[in-house]
Structure 1
Amino acid sequence: MAGIGFELKKLFARKGVFAGAYAYGYAAIICCGPMLLGMALLFCAAFIAQLAGAALETRELLNACITISLLVALTVSGAFSLLVTRYVSDMIFAKSPERVMASLLGSTCIAIAIGGVLYGIFLLFAPVSLFCRVLCLSLFCESVFVWTEIAYLTAVKNYRQILTAFAASLAIAMGTGAVLTLVLHLDPLPCLLFSVVLGYGIMLLRYLWILLKLFPYSGEDPYQFLRARREYPQLAPCGFLLNIGLFAHIVMMWFSPRGEQIKGIFYHCADYDMAAVFAFLSVLITTVNYVVAVEVNFYPKYRTYYALYNGGGAITDIEPAGREMLSVLAREIRYSAMRQLFCTVLFIVFGSAVLKALPLGFSDAGLGTFRILCVGYGLYAIGNMLMLSLLYFCDNQGALICCGVFAAVSIAATLASLFMQAEYYGDGFALGAGAFALCAAVRLIKYTSALPYHLLCSEKSMLHAKGENA
């Protein structure tokens, strides 16, 4: 996150409300851009399909095609995101920018090859036309590429182009979908699916163009980044397990008593799916706020502390610097957790009223699930902040343990809830997120209480510290 931090510091140094708005907008698009684009395209496509008079089954198939493609892409790319981020950081520190774009191509090729084969087999049995199957596979490939690009965009300082790319992708995609379905009166399913693919394609190419200006491709070995797996073996499974814990409960609910078969192998649980989407929005504010707070307030203290170790600072300087660094970290995490609590309460109170007023067909059971999931995603946001803080101190093993606990408890508790009454749906994910937050908090407190020991006795920590002080 160091790259984004430099730009955020410049933005917050400016005077005026708009500078702060730009800073938070920049952080939001960098951290959550593809997810926000996916949600926006999903809702806009559904709205256009309804205006076009599409049948309920067609609208549900469209929703399933987009949702499944994005979930598979997020899960597959998650296995590479943390590893690639670490590798890019190392290459920038080593002044080897020529290897950066090569690693982007290599990681996306591997992710698309693995996920593409599995998802392609699934699509062979999909109850849609061949053209729609090709579009679903294309959306998966584009999503993997875009999510991987996010790890590299943190080094880009031209936030205006990033924001423009996001807005253009959404506008062109929905404009194309509206023309094809509302003006030309073509089949809504393939046309709107094509418009979503077009939107992600524009974002992919625009982000790639921005990255190539900063990191020109020089023909380096695209799979050289895999050597980082030997040095950081915990990062790939950590990212994968995090996404499993985050999304597995949604898929499991498709096969619950409340789940319904749309057509063929496509299933959904309408109330639960919508509740999960709206509840997930409650964590975006905290996610962005954490990035801003840590990069602007915590990182300078962090860098000073490590500089004293590497520069031969006196113990009388190191100890106060360490206490100040941990004090700032605790303060920012506490403030972010309080903001998340406030957002969760707002979503539960006002979000429930809004969802009940909207013509979305939310039942009382669905609203209850929404409230439970708001709590669950709030706990996830806090746990994710703590886990990222562990990675900041290079406690990769601790982060892996926390993500493993999150995935295991979330899946096991969700499975158990399938045999209970409907009002308990969502409790499994909330329990998993709570275990995630608790485990990460205990691990972070324990690790930072012996931070000098880890710094002096861990070779990897020393290498990490040197990299951060570049």
Structure 2
Amino acid sequence: MAGIGFELKKIYKKNTVAAHIRGGFYSIFVTIGHVLITLGVLMIVKTVLQDSFNSVHLEQLYSAIVVYSFIFPLIFTSGITIVLSRYIADKLWNRKNEDIASSILGVMTLYIAVFSLPGILLLGSAQDLPLILKIVSYLLYMQMGLIYLLMTYVSALKNYKEIAQSFIIGMGTVIGLVLITRNFLYQNEDIVVYLIFYFALGTLLTLIGLYTAVRKVFRQMNGNYFEFLLYFKKYPKLFFSNVAYTVTMYAHNFLFWSYSATKQQVSVFYFSEAFDLATAFAVYSILPAAVLFVVRTEVFFYDTYRAYLDAINYGTGSEIKKRKQEMERSMWEEFLYSMEVQGLISMICLIIGMLLFKQVGAPSLTLEVFPYLVFGIYLLYFSFLGGTLMQYFENYDDSMRSFLLGLFLNLIFGQLTLMMGREFYGLGVVFSSFLTLSYTMIKLRETLLEIDFVIFTNGALRPSLTRGRLEKFVEALNDGVEKE
């Protein structure tokens, strides 16, 4: 994340308790602050509107629309954001901010043009939903995708205060509207329409705030609106890796949504309430690892990695060997440290989650599968970090294989455990994630053995991109936008 390491080093340089506290809060805000704000809003709305729904059907419809509007845009944008982040990093390095500014318009246009279709087809087939609910649901779905895309640019910004303000204003609007109209919403037949409208309005304000903040930094456009598409040809494995990992996170949910003994349906939306609830809390339990990875990588590991690259380019054989050993030691120390700390946090989250579920009367299935999901997603996330480190070392092949293996195993073991019966539900995540992590660690070790050759020949062995259909298509798109 561009700029974060520099800021963290400045904060931690003082080496005081206050500096470490400040650095911790800064890291949390930059990495997962927007997630925490959104999660907080969802929980507050659910608490405020307790018993406000006059039927289980309406409550399930509201939950299903929100879940679909958050999960599917995340999946649809996952491949785009990872490639786009590489494009932005290269352009920042070459100080071509005009290309970055142009890509903002291009990527938003691409998402609207391509991913409007799934939302239109799904909502269009919902004959039992009123037109106004379809419209606001579509807007929420589309705006969440655009927010995910804009967050890719956020890491390149310096003024994180504006980013926080965007989410606080948008999500605060949702809470404000719910509180103001609480009595009006109580037992209202149209409560779902109003709530989804509130969320659509809130995400629109967040979207406008993020777009404004990004454009303040990247102002001048030069017409290369769709040049970033060439990076899909240059780094296709990055695209498939991130899509595979994101789908893997929810692969078991999709299986439960389709299995006759566990699936539920409201309108055109399939879900599994008990399993979805357990999955959501299990995913939230792993969020601290995202903070740890960014902090430990940016503050400690990256310097040793940079020193190793400098030694490859300018140092002697003995210096290269020394720097490589320092880098490897630093990498494994930070990786294992993150695993240890997150392991403790996951255990605490498991205990709190079990107590909370019992307190609120959660379904028994939620209590049964939650421990398996916490452990399985813990293993899965660290296989993701291992794959990400392979990408640091330009090993895109094994990184992609690791992510695809995780997806394949999750689907296979998930289906098997569903067929084996209720007592095995959730165990598929554990088995598949353990095997994926084992494979990833083996490939990461092999990557380090060959890293001297890979880094030294970086670029020399990579085929140059020839002018083909994609390049012509990108030029046509850019010309089309210019004429408009």
Q: What amino acid is aligned across from residue 355 of structure 2 in structure 1? A: A
For residues 45 and 450 of structure 1, what CA distance do their matches in structure 2 show? 52
How many residues get paired? 460
2:250 is the counterpart of 1:255: no
2:297 is the counterpart of 1:294: yes
2:193 is the counterpart of 1:190: yes
Q: Which stretch has the larger CA shift, 261-270 or 73-82?
A: 261-270
Q: Which stretch has the larger CA shift, 35-44 or 293-302?
A: 35-44
**Are the aligned partners of 1:181 and 1:188 in contact in 2 as well (CA < 8 Å)?**
no
In structure 2, the residue matched to 1:114 is 114
For residues 8 and 237 of structure 1, what CA distance do their matches in structure 2 show? 31
For residues 68 and 41 of structure 2, what CA distance do their matches in structure 1 show? 14
The secondary structure found in structure 2 opposite 1:280 is helix
The secondary structure found in structure 1 opposite 2:95 is coil
In structure 1, the residue matched to 2:467 is none
Q: Residues 371 and 336 from structure 1, CA distance in 2 versus in 1: closer, same or farther, beyond 3 angstroms?
A: same
Q: Which stretch has the larger CA shift, 341-350 or 92-101?
A: 341-350
> Within 5 Å, which residues of 2 pair with 1:94-133?
94-126=94-126, 127-133=128-134
List runs of 5+ in structure 2 lacking aligned partners.
464-484
In structure 2, the residue matched to 1:159 is 160
RMSD: 2.2
In structure 2, the residue matched to 1:148 is 149
Cα shift at 1:33: 4.2
For residues 83 and 460 of structure 2, what CA distance do their matches in structure 1 show? 15
**Are the aligned partners of 1:77 and 1:147 in contact in 2 as well (CA < 8 Å)?**
yes
Residue among 225, 231, 234 paired with 2:234: 231
**Are the aligned partners of 2:264 and 2:273 in contact in 1 as well (CA < 8 Å)?**
no
Q: What amino acid is aligned across from residue 62 of structure 2 in structure 1? A: L
Cα shift at 1:252: 1.8
Cα shift at 1:92: 0.6
In structure 2, the residue matched to 1:414 is 414
Structure 1, residues 437-469: CA drift from partner, whole Å, max 9, x if none? 222211111001121111123327999xxxxxx
For residues 460 and 275 of structure 2, what CA distance do their matches in structure 1 show? 43
2:319 is the counterpart of 1:317: yes
Cα shift at 1:334: 0.5
In structure 2, the residue matched to 1:468 is none
2:376 is the counterpart of 1:340: no
2:352 is the counterpart of 1:350: yes
Cα shift at 1:327: 0.6
Structure 1, residues 183-210: CA drift from partner, whole Å, max 9, x if none? 5766321111112122222222212111
Q: Residues 20 and 58 from structure 1, CA distance in 2 versus in 1: closer, same or farther, beyond 3 angstroms?
A: farther
The secondary structure found in structure 1 opposite 2:49 is helix
Q: Residues 29 and 220 from structure 1, CA distance in 2 versus in 1: closer, same or farther, beyond 3 angstroms?
A: farther
The secondary structure found in structure 1 opposite 2:243 is helix
The secondary structure found in structure 2 opposite 1:267 is strand
TM-score (norm 2): 0.89
Cα shift at 1:37: 4.2
Q: What amino acid is aligned across from residue 203 of structure 2 in structure 1? A: Y
**Are the aligned partners of 1:4 and 1:156 in contact in 2 as well (CA < 8 Å)?**
no
**Are the aligned partners of 1:279 and 1:374 in contact in 2 as well (CA < 8 Å)?**
yes
In structure 1, the residue matched to 2:215 is 212
For residues 22 and 378 of structure 1, what CA distance do their matches in structure 2 show? 27
For residues 215 and 435 of structure 2, what CA distance do their matches in structure 1 show? 41
Q: Which stretch has the larger CA shift, 132-141 or 252-261?
A: 252-261
For residues 69 and 328 of structure 2, what CA distance do their matches in structure 1 show? 41
Structure 1, residues 247-295: CA drift from partner, whole Å, max 9, x if none? 1211221222443434232222111011011111110011111111000
**Are the aligned partners of 2:101 and 2:220 in contact in 1 as well (CA < 8 Å)?**
yes
List runs of 5+ in structure 1 lacking aligned partners.
464-470
In structure 2, the residue matched to 1:176 is 177
Q: Residues 22 and 162 from structure 1, CA distance in 2 versus in 1: closer, same or farther, beyond 3 angstroms?
A: farther
Q: What amino acid is aligned across from residue 361 of structure 1 in structure 2? A: A
Q: What amino acid is aligned across from residue 49 of structure 1 in structure 2? A: L
The secondary structure found in structure 2 opposite 1:221 is coil
Cα shift at 1:6: 1.6
The secondary structure found in structure 1 opposite 2:258 is coil
The secondary structure found in structure 2 opposite 1:61 is helix
Q: Which stretch has the larger CA shift, 163-172 or 315-324?
A: 163-172
Cα shift at 1:14: 4.4
Q: Which stretch has the larger CA shift, 109-118 or 319-328?
A: 109-118
In structure 2, the residue matched to 1:367 is 367
In structure 1, the residue matched to 2:276 is 273
Structure 1, residues 2-49: CA drift from partner, whole Å, max 9, x if none? 432222222323465554344334433443345434433433333333
2:237 is the counterpart of 1:241: no
In structure 2, the residue matched to 1:397 is 397
Q: Residues 168 and 113 from structure 1, CA distance in 2 versus in 1: closer, same or farther, beyond 3 angstroms?
A: same
**Are the aligned partners of 2:185 and 2:191 in contact in 1 as well (CA < 8 Å)?**
no
The secondary structure found in structure 1 opposite 2:181 is helix
Q: What amino acid is aligned across from residue 382 of structure 2 in structure 1? A: I
For residues 54 and 220 of structure 2, what CA distance do their matches in structure 1 show? 45
The secondary structure found in structure 2 opposite 1:459 is coil
For residues 101 and 114 of structure 2, what CA distance do their matches in structure 1 show? 20
Q: What amino acid is aligned across from residue 299 of structure 2 in structure 1? A: V
Q: Which stretch has the larger CA shift, 144-153 or 66-75?
A: 144-153
Q: What amino acid is aligned across from residue 134 of structure 1 in structure 2? A: I
Q: Percent identity?
A: 23
The secondary structure found in structure 2 opposite 1:236 is helix
TM-score (norm 1): 0.92
